[in-house]
Structure 1
Amino acid sequence: MTATSLIGKYAAFLTALLVVCAAATLLLNGGRASFEYPRIFGAIYNEPGADIYLGELPRTPDGALADGEVAWRKAAVVAGTAEAAAHAGAYWLRFGLPDEPFDAPVLRVRQLSHYEVYVNGDLALSYNMHRPTFRLDTSKQVRLVSLPPDRSSTVVHLRVVNDAPGLALGRVTIADGKTEYGDLLRRNAPRALLAVALLVMAAASLLGFLMNVRRPVYAYFGALALVSGASGLVHTSLAHFFIDLSAASYYMRLAFPIGLLAFVAFLEQLYGSGVYAVHRRIRYVLGGYTVVCAVAAWTNGPAYLQLTGPASMWVAFACGVVTAYSLTRSPSPADGKLGWIFIGYCVLALFGAAQWVLAVFPSVHPMLHDQAPLYNYYWKESTLYVGIFSFVACIGLAFASHLRDLHQRVEDLVAQRTAELETKHRQLQASTRETFEALREVSVWEERNRIAQEIHNILGHQLTGAAMQMEAAKRLIRLDPDAALPRIETALESVRRGLGDVRSAVRMMKMDVGGQDAVDLLSELIDATKDLTGVDVDAEFGPLPPLDALQKKVLYYALQEGLTNGIKHGGARRFELELGVEDGAIRFALRNDGEPYAPVPRGFGLSTLHDRVAELGGTLAIGDAGGRGAALEIRFPASQAHL
């Protein structure tokens, strides 16, 4: 960010701030109508002024004030004397109503910690007299005492008790009760609105922290906005109108060191520990400063007021200079959030300088009273607070810029990761296709090798037997042709049987069962067997999970082998088939009504079927079917998967 753009942004922000303040002023004032100050009478210094008596006022035997028995003097004269400076304890003030047309006069006392108000000799108000404490700030206190409208006969006595030597006359004013409430509302509304805006920022940030507890930057900004908003709200007379917040006002001075500590911690979250770890070092120093202020607040009121008053301005100045230097030396780019932070520094410095001028040059106040009444009435007491609000608002904009940058980085990272995942996905798809192609080729080669082995075993067994029979027939044909003929028939039967087995193996090789339903496949074989042989097959199919090609072929071959052997060797005319899932396994059971089962060596078909079932991790059992016929049962895991 260049210096020109920073100056332009600073000017735009300051212009927007002044426009908002001007609009709020016109709204509170009811437009551009001429402004009139409310009539407020200073009871102590305004003519005719208040009388003072240093010491306790004597009382009559019935408890009434005996003010005629003491020598009263003018408070304005006594206030500057050495006697007043050395006086400690109680003193009394006496004054009447001003010569003002107040229909419902009210008395307001501020900046006094222990006092009693008597109206025409009767106690009207007692504040902090029974359990006195110095931990109070009554500068914004609103405890109004209604006064009789009769100016000629009304006398007010104010009893004050000092904690230390010297007169604390405070601010004692009399105004019209009908306008005093409206005056409180209008005069304190700007500060109260700024405080509420800061509290809204704090609530939003702390809510964000609750949703992102691993990001303490939310908590630090929320703490900064919270103490700033709470301090502004407590230091308005409007808040004191509803409840006495004098004790809260006293302790709210701790908001300054706490807010400064939260701000430095916020910077540390955004920019790290800084050059020479300055952010972390300042945070430690501010933590100690906050602890010292808290201890002084409880034990030593004057020291506490000094630490959180004039000394705090130097602490803030030093902290601002050091952190600004650290930020300019930061390796992070001069992004938008850094610009907002420096704008906040500049705005706070501007309003701080204005507040300093008001404090150091009292002659400015009469000029503002006459030449700038709206500023004097609505904003003068809140000049520094406007700067604090503007500073926190700029930090909030820097925080928003930080969150926007984080969101953009997250979006860029997501886009990058998405692109990488898409590339990996395409590579995986290509690799998967290659793997499937390779596995399919392997499966084909395994199937071909298995069929070749079966054909080799079939032909090797059958042709070997046929050759042996033919050799025997060759030797017998000359000696005993009748004995040679059975040998030739046996050889032919062996050749025919081998040819049938080869054809069956070829059919199994050609059969594509991958896309067919297992039940449909077996039903077709049952129907074909019924039509060809006339046997009766009663089939019961239960629910089946998805089966792969090898599982379907095993079931098909088992049914084919069971039907063929039952008809050919057992003379069976009726079969019962059960197929389903039992105990997590596929169960195939085929029973017939043929000749009783007699254990014999397994032929080629059953041996091949046994090997296929073993490949599936299953078992094959052949036995008696309850006294008549034979039973074939196969089990293999239902979850087994094969290509």
Structure 2
Amino acid sequence: MAGIRIRNHLPFLRAMTALLGMLILVGWCLIALGRNDPSVKLLPRDGWRWAPAASFSETVSPAEGWLPYSEMHAGAGQDGAYWLSVPLPADFASRDPRLFVYHAVALSVYDGDRLLYTYDPNASHDRLNLFYHWNLAPLPAKLPSEIRLLLDNRGHSRPELSLRLVGKGELFSYLIRRDAYSFVLSGLFLFSAVISVGLFTIRKDKLHLYFTLLALCGCYASMVRNALLQLFWDQPWLSFMELTIFPLGVYGFINIMIEVFDAEHTFILRRIRWAILGFTAVTLFSALFLSAGWFNWLLSYPLLAMFLVTAAFILNSIRSAYRTRQGPESVWMLAGFFIVTSFALIHVLRTYLPSFYSWLRQNISFLSELPFDTLSVALFLFLVCLIRVIVYRFGQMNLQLKAFNESLESSVEKRTAELRERETQLQEAGTRLAMTARGTAEAIASSMVLEERHRMTGTIHDTIGHALTATIVQLEAAKRLLSRDGRLALEKLEASQGLVRRGMEEIRGSVRLLSDDSTSYDLVANVEALIAETEQSTGATIERNIHPLPASLSTLKKRVLYQALQEGLTNGLRHGGSSRFRFSLHADGEAVRFRLVSDGRTYTPSAFGFGLKAMSERVEGLGGKITVTPGAPGCVLALVLPVNEPSDATESAERQAKETVR
């Protein structure tokens, strides 16, 4: 049973192994690069002494009352100034020595009673992130036996003070070797954000939007989480605002989980994400306007509680999704969550609870060797997991498109076979009717039925054949372009959708004409409906002048007039590029006169196409005449039909033809 359980979790174990391997490799490289080199000497705290100071404005250190630095109890100096006496080694040789001071707020450096360097953030209204801000105090070329520092923490929860001796020329190479990786990470985060923005513009998937947010948070944090940046841009606010980025990153992290997993697994996360966004706004307001003491309290306690509660809910959501379906999404999200959450907890303790983290480091040797900014590395590995999920989703979409394409090809083949069979049946019926003509009226009716069905069949066949064939071409192009150019692939899919819709509209028009009730066919109403639909769908303008028609006008002639208008509008829009039409229909004595004038390209007389040829034959069969002449510009379609009362035989033939067509 245990072996079966392990095999069930093998994908997750493989993902965790890969992520941990990469994290250990990167961590080992950072530890190796961050080790002290001979050009930088860390000053041990064994010989340090301290004494209280009345204020930061003192200029003379006390002559007595000095105590060992190890006896300085926790919290001493948090609300006031104090002096620190630091012995200097005699064996440090540099032509331009400097004192590299880490984790100090306000300080002054003295050689005896001579002031060497001073910095007060209140004088320049600076806010400091003590983990990244540093001071570089010049020292005499001949080092004194000791120096004295006047320090004031100004209410900050200060991590342990760190002092190093370094030559000014060696400082740059030391920081490059130790912190250059952070700029590489920020570049990778920025590249990931740009790619994600591109995907979002194509697919409008919120997952890519929150991916961008998290990548930008990682980019900013990686860029300012180093001491090297201060060499190029000494702006303390840059690193200070990094303290407000963490809650915003948590907000993006939660939304990514919501987008990846189903709603049933993220119900609680959907509720608490707004609380996280509110906490982010409060943190930003506190960083800008509240005192350092209040801001430190907010980061030390509410933020830690927020992080732990959020991590518990996220873990529960991922665990629920993983137990339901152990697919690539839940496997990689769970593995990435463990990596980023573990190092986020270390980051929170080290940044917001420095005293507690110092105690942990004294008892866990591993933490002493750990590079400071491992959270950025862990966050980048989480983004790698998210990229794996996005790639998996693209693969699933490609499979769906492939299945849809195969189904569409099968449907086209089936419909084409049905149309061919129907055409064969119509041809056989036409042959039989021609051989067994039973009178003039029946022959005319049968011929009209066959012609109507043949025309309708050809129209539907051409419409659906063209639309589906063009759709297949577009889908094949989209399938090939999907992995190379997502935007162009989406355009091909949208073009396919437009082709199918246009084909469906043309088929509906043909079916509508067949299904009209021939016993109560209202020509004027149908013409008005056709004109309104054409104006709405194409934007063309159609001026009409329609007079009442004789009640004796047969239904077949009404249909011929309607189809003539339909054919004329279609040809004018499709072939002539027309946008304005003038249509008139009226009865003149013994004839009905039809006239349609279009603008656009001037008509060049030529042989009639399939539609006009069929229309001409039908008009002539009813004793009428059709003409197509050039306009100025455009085209003029004119039609004349007689309005004589039909004979009983002809009326009977018409009725039979109508019933057969229906």
TM-score by length of 2: 0.56
- Tell me the SS of whatever aligns to 1:203: helix
In structure 2, the partner of 1:131 is: 124
- Give the drift of 1:337: 0.7
CA offset at residue 283 of structure 1?
Answer: 1.7
Task: Find the counterpart in structure 2 of residue 570 from structure 1.
Answer: none
Q: Distance in 1 between matches of 2:236 and 2:52?
A: 26
Match of 1:474 in 2: none
Q: 1:176 to 1:544 in 2, by over 3 A?
A: same
Shift of 1:234: 1.6
2:31·2:371 contact (CA, 8 Å) conserved in 1? no
Compared CA separation, residues 185 and 216, structure 1 to 2 (3 A) = same
1:390 equivalent in structure 2: 381
Aligned match of 2:47: 47
Contact 1:257–1:289 under 8 Å retained in 2: yes
Q: Identify the residue that residue 10 of structure 2 maps to in structure 1.
A: 8
Alignment of 1:492-511 (within 5 A): none
Q: Deviations over 1:373-421 (max 9, x none)?
A: xx965x4323444433333332332233233323333333343344334
- Alpha-carbon deviation of 1:351? 4.4
Distance 1:426 1:294, change over 3 A: farther
Change (3 A) 1:553 1:290: closer
2:177 is matched with 186
Identical residues among aligned pairs (%): 17
Q: Which residue of 2 aligns with 1:262?
A: 252
Tell me, which stretches of 5 or more residues in structure 2 are unaligned?
445-602, 621-626, 644-662
What pairs with 1:318-357 in structure 2 (closer than 5 Å)? 318-330=309-321, 333-348=325-340, 350-351=342-343
Letter of the aligned partner of 1:140 in structure 2? Y
Deviations 1:298-317 (A, max 9, x none): 32544443444454444333
- Would the aligned equivalents of 1:28 and 1:186 in 2 still touch at CA under 8 Å? no
Q: CA RMSD in A?
A: 5.0
Post-superposition CA distance 1:271-322 (Å, at most 9, x none)? 2433482231122232233233233333254444344445444433332332
Note if contact 2:99-2:139 (Cα within 8 Å) is conserved in structure 1: yes
Equivalences for 1:70-219 in 2 at 5 Å?
A: 70-71=62-63, 73-74=65-66, 76-77=68-69, 80=72, 84=76, 88=80, 90-93=81-84, 95=86, 97-103=88-94, 104-117=96-109, 121-122=114-115, 124-133=117-126, 135-152=127-144, 156=147, 158-164=149-155, 170-212=161-203, 214-219=204-209
Per-residue CA shift, 1:490-531, capped at 9, x if unaligned?
xxxxxxxxxxxxxxxxxxxxxxxxxxxxxxxxxxxxxxxxxx
What is the CA–CA distance in structure 2 between the aligned matches of 1:444 and 1:115, rounded to whole Å? 115
- Aligned counterparts of 1:263 and 1:216: Cα–Cα separation in 2: 12
- Kindly indicate whether residue 279 of structure 2 is the aligned counterpart of residue 289 of structure 1: yes
**Which residue does the alignment assign to 2:608?**
547
C-alpha distance in 2, partners of 1:159/1:187? Answer: 29
SS across alignment from 1:403: helix
Greater RCO, CA 8 A, separation 6+: 2
Matched with 2:226 is 236
Deviation digits for residues 232-285 of structure 1 (CA, Å, limit 9, x no counterpart): 332122333322353232222222221221122222223243348223112223
CA contact (8 A) 2:97 2:167 kept: yes
1:446-498, CA deviations, whole angstroms, 9 ceiling, x for partnerless residues?
A: 9x959x99xxxxxxxxxxxxxxxxxxxxxxxxxxxxxxxxxxxxxxxxxxxxx
Question: What is the 5 A alignment of 1:557-596?
Answer: 581-583=629-631
Equivalence map 1:401-416=2 (5 Å)? 401-416=392-407
TM-score of the aligned structures, taking structure 1 as reference length: 0.58
Secondary structure at 2:119 match in 1: strand
Pair 431,284 (structure 1): closer, same or farther in 2 beyond 3 Å: farther
State the distance in 2 between where 1:166 and 1:266 align: 33
Which structure: larger Rg? 1
Write the letter of the residue equivalent to 2:154: D
Q: 1:220 offset after TM fit, Å?
A: 0.7
Distance 1:87 1:326, change over 3 A: closer
The unaligned stretches of length 5 or more in structure 1 are: 59-64, 454-541, 559-578, 588-611, 618-643
Name the aligned partner's letter for residue 165 of structure 2: I
Mapped pair 1:223 → 2:213: yes
Deviation at 1:162, TM superposition (A): 4.2
Task: Give the partner amino acid of 1:132.
Answer: H
Q: Is the alpha carbon distance of 1:432 and 1:286 closer, same or farther for their aligned partners in structure 2, counting shifts above 3 Å?
A: farther
- 1:277 & 1:167 partners in 2: Cα distance? 40
